[in-house]
Structure 1
Amino acid sequence: MESPGQGSSPPAITVQVKFAGRTIPVEVPAAASAAELKRLLQPLTNVLPRKVLEDSASLSSMQVVNGSKVMLIASQGLHQGEVPEEVWDCGPSVRILDVSNNGIKEIPHKIAALKSLTKLLLTANDIADENITWEGLSCLPTLLNLSLSQNRITSLPSSLGDCESLIEVDLSSNLLAELPEALGNLHNLKALLLRNNGLTSLPANLFKQCSQLTTLDLHGTEITNDVLRQVEGWEDFDERRRQKHQKQLDFRVGSSGAFDEGADDDNRRR
């Protein structure tokens, strides 16, 4: 005789997926990964899975449990002009919002309602300074990744320094001429991408206060490697990023063994 539970299926949870005005119940193993959920969603929604979620991440680590509601919006590249209203309706249920390449012109204060947001991708839109509510962004306590690259941003407010959970910020290809000192308040920051801006200097406290920073991209700015070396705390930053590079070589992560200094040399700019 089989003992009780022998041959029984592993525990499962039901996730309610909202998509295109429908609610689709999807049953997945309680220990499933994001990759497994993507595979189940693709035939149901005809939306190809993208690398917004880490495939190896478990649903439990993202607090997806039995009865959780997940919203799936195929927005990237649809040129909608604004964030879909359904997003604001979901409030704290939204974990990742990717509306890149949509001609978005405004990020309203409603963004503050997305209290559980961890990743906000606004790449290649039409966002200018006056149309983004920075105070709303500073109300997102779990925001880890912020991309505003390829927009029309000319300045950053000090309130950006209130987003203390940020680990990666991408502001490449904007119109920035300077950065606020409050950027040094981002103590968890590991990657800061600033290429193709009009920057001539960095906040004096950046390397000292952002003690986890290991990736800095200043190519295509007025800040050269010689300028970088004059910033207080540069030696410690340089040691951290070289250690990271060596680890990548040791584990064969990445396709190139070349070390990127992070900025252009003076002689290359002449």
Structure 2
Amino acid sequence: MPVLIVIPARYASTRYPGKPLVGLKGANGLEKSLIQRSWEAACAVPGDPRVVVATDDDRIRLAAQTFGAEVVMTSESCANGTERCAEAYDALGGGFDIVVNLQGDAPLTPAWFVEELVAGLRADPVAEVATPVLRCDGQTLNALLEDRRAGRVGGTTAVFGQDRKALYFSKEVIPYTGRTYADDAETPVFHHVGVYAYRPSALAAYPRWAAGPLEQLEGLEQLRFLERERPVLCVEVAARGRQFWELNNPEDVPRIEAMLIGMGVE
């Protein structure tokens, strides 16, 4: 059965209100909104997935429809993107064997991240949820550490066991290494890429669970699965020369624009 890619987007972000409609200039100097760039990243995934934007805000709905996206309206009560994906899946009547949550603040997500994520989940009959992780080079790790030193919440890091099942996710930089790495050096830290693939059974169960203390402390929706002892498969992906960063704070806009320009993305 086909894959459904849902791009959850809300206007009332605590850290960055209106974030989905923030403009990002590409290599040609033209500006596109964050939600449009995230939608274009989803549409680039091979295999003809169905791509929808899920939102509770008419400003985002109108903007998305303007550039041709299919929009599913969801309730304001959704606590996070996973709950919004569950609502969107139900609203569309199901019929998909895997649902991908490509978060609306990740416009630099390469298509192969999603391809490999879906393949990884399909290859593991036990896993109900999967998410990509990207080994940090020294430059990325230093940027994560600099954000924390400056009091900013930047990217999320992940640690996992030999079976690739997640042990923990954190907005702190884990594991602690106590070392300084050259920009091009390989490090033991993995950047969590904000994409998830769910089997419908896991997606249906998630909204029925109350958020646990770890999810509330970290503000990371995937911790709800770990707190319920539901395994999350970490699928290691390769950058292949592409840069990856999520838009979490206003300070990330020039960083992402520089990456778009450097990669020639219009």
TM-score tier (shorter):
under 0.3
- TM-score of the pair, normalised by structure 2: 0.23
- TM-score of the pair, normalised by structure 1: 0.22
**Greater fraction of residues in helix:** 2
Structure with the bigger RCO (C-alpha within 8 Å, sep 6+) is 2
The structure whose Rg is larger is 1
**Greater fraction of residues in strand:** 2
